[in-house]
Chains A and B, each alone.
Chain A
Amino acid sequence: MASAGSADRYLPDTVQESVKILVVGDFGVGKTTMIGSVSEIEPLRTEETMTQASVGVDDLAGLEAKATTTVAMDFGRITLSPLTALYLFGTPGQQRFWDLWAGLSEGAVGALVLIDTRRLEGSFEVLDQLELRGDLPFAVAVNLFPDSVRYGRKALREALDLAPDTPIVECDARNRASSLDCLITLVEHAVQKEQAGQKAPAVQKEKA
């Protein structure tokens, strides 16, 4: 159960390794809700400052126009075994945050893309980016809101232009078991991709 007294703030001293999963999606799609429903600690918030060339922003003639943005990320933790801790990082999906991803996705198990069918267009950018990168396994989780439009999986796959092997699951991000099922689906997919990759070792992905 999620409780966050400072007594269980720390990890058991036996933990030797940590892994992470990204929970990606538009603002308000339920990332923090999902993280909170499975995390053993109250979701925490960190800030990352990003310096970015302010493309498309006011053109300050003659100035090296760079803007610093502060991005808030919520995250949670699950101690999976005495040896391993899993971290879940909620990450905004919009294009302007992709610089942030480079560091975040390094070594990650994969990304769970959380989607709200009432605002499908909010997920196009992030799905395009994930398919382009190709190196990070991802699954799509449809967070069902009471007034969500229900699509069949086939229709959704077409609407989102997903590859045939990309898993789609429906979920209630408030529900622990449902959220765990989404994570399990993603990790199963990551295992499959890893196995497929081992079978074809000739294709060596060059480092980005």
Chain B
Amino acid sequence: MTDPGDYKDHAVRPYVLTQGRARPSRNTIGLDTLLVVTEAGKPLPVSASRQERELVRMCRRLLSLAEAAAYLELPLSVASILASDLVDSGHLTARSRIPEVARPSQNMLKEVLDGLRRLR
């Protein structure tokens, strides 16, 4: 564990990795959006960056965007832009609630409650 709030610089500026974009192509990918490869072994274009390749490799099994970003040490905003592109290109599948829904449903809340009580 590193110290809280310590600053890590990256050799490559974030806007280079995202080709200058600050926003993802779709806004349905949140921190807790679950990602998984659509089809194992589907080749990436030769122009794909190292970070895109790593993200696809990381998501060979189910993982949230936040986890993938943490393991790859990518800033979240960059990871969400890359993930969004990879969903668009059919390499990754985003599984989970579309965050347009402002609040979780009553059923979902009850499921969370039951799940937590079981752990207790």
Contacts and interface: CB of A to CB of B under 8 A. Distances in A.
A9 B6 CA distance: 25
A107 B96 CA distance: 12
B28 to A, nearest CB: 11
B84 interface: no
Nearest to A71: B5
**Residue from B6, B64, B117 having most chain A Cβ neighbours under 10 A:** B64
A10 B101 CA distance: 26
B106 A187 contact: no
Contacts of A13: 36, 61-62
B109 A9 contact: no
A187 B110 CA distance: 8
Chain B interface category by residue count: 35 or more
A128 to B, nearest CB: 21
B66 A49 contact: no
A76 B10 CA distance: 24
Contact of A89 (B31, B115, B116): B31
Interface residues of A, number: 55
Given A20-B32, A78-B115, A87-B31, A207 B102 contact: yes
19 contacts: A9-B71, A13-B62, A18-B33, A18-B96, A19-B112, A41-B67, A44-B67, A78-B116, A80-B114, A80-B119, A87-B64, A106-B102, A107-B97, A107-B101, A107-B102, A184-B116, A187-B113, A191-B106, A194-B103
Interface of B: 1-2, 4-8, 14, 30-34, 36, 61-64, 66-67, 69-71, 75-77, 95-97, 99, 101-104, 106, 108-120
